[in-house]
Amino acid sequence: MRNKRALVTGSAGFIGSHLVELLQSQAAKVTAFVHYNSRNDLGYLTKLPRRGEIEIIFGDVCDFSVMRECMKGKDIVFHLASLISVPYSYTHPQEVLKTNLGGTMACLIAAKEAAVQRFIQVSSSEVYGSALYVPIDEKHPKQPQSIYAGSKIAADAMAMSFWYSYQFPVTICRPFNTYGPRQSDRAVISNIIAQALRSDVIQLGAVDTRRDFTFVTDTAAGMIKMAQSDATLGQELNLGTGKDVKIREIVDAVGRILGKTLAIKADSERLRPATSEVNRLQSCNSKMKDLTGWAPEVSLEDGLLQTVEWIRQNNPFDQPGSYKV
């Protein structure tokens, strides 16, 4: 990645900031696109050790004129910007579709005009819905069980259409339930840890659903591997560990780390509508391994330890027991 000019949309967020940090460690020249806000808030980019070397551009990914300027002279685009909350998508479907599909289209058209060499479209395992079989490979049917999932399916389809229509160098990156330091407490692992540091009772919704939790540095490394390999062009690729666990098992694991017994209290407000709940996600990552040599390096135990320590040191969450959409 040395001297590669990389644009990262959604750069101020959880995965985006880790990706920026890893790109910098590999000597890439990074431009970070940040959603405009009146506070000039750079999110998690603020505390990166080499923050001063990052070019920052504020704007909205749906604004084609802005994205056209951002794309000029770039070698690689990592498109992470999206509205990611499933519960939020139930009540704000039009906004979610506008950002996730409209923003992706603006980025694709602008990137094509700028002759960008690689475009990594970051998807989500939510597009698969509840597993019809496990492990889930890239041929698994897409099931839009939430507005969010539907918006990502549409965005991914448009990205692939640029590959088929123009041979534009697109790769679909499909992470499975990324977790780790800097994640907000609307995500289940961060929320469990934040609650556990203050209480012995953890309020949760569905606890027997299963997820393939992948540590954030492994996810970021996988994205870069995709950008480095021509074998990934025009491909949809899963990024996951290949193992899944129940949410209640995460509660038990966090309890062991903290040396305490945690009880679970059911909170109906946190439940998805029955037909929208995704009961199981477990990745098949063999295609990604075969094409790029990537493999996850951080075990769930080590990842949880790192996440617990970061939350303990930073104390970033207010009222973690309250439900956040």
Average pLDDT over residues 133-149: 98
The full set of domains in the chain, from first to last, is: 5-178+214-239 (3.40.50.720)
Beta strands 76-79 and 178-179: pairing type? unpaired
Q: How confident is the model at residue 88 (pLDDT cuts 50, 70, 90)?
A: very high
pLDDT at 116: 98
In the predicted model, is pLDDT for residue 93 greater than 90?
Answer: yes
The residue length of the chain stands at: 325
244 burial class (0-12, 13-18, 19+ CB within 10 angstroms)?
Answer: buried
pLDDT at 322: 80
Q: Which single residue is written with the structure tokens 């506070």? A: 39
pLDDT digits (tens, 9 = 90+) for 1-27: 999 999 999 999 999 999 999 999 999
In the predicted model, is pLDDT for residue 319 greater than 90?
Answer: no
pLDDT digits (tens, 9 = 90+) for 157-174: 999 999 999 999 999 999
Contact present, 18 and 32 (Cβ < 8 Å): no
Average pLDDT over residues 136-157: 98
β-partners of residue 171 are 120
In the predicted model, is pLDDT for residue 29 greater than 90?
Answer: yes
Return the structure tokens found at 153: 């399916």
Q: 0.85 cut: is pTM over it?
A: yes
pLDDT at 21: 98
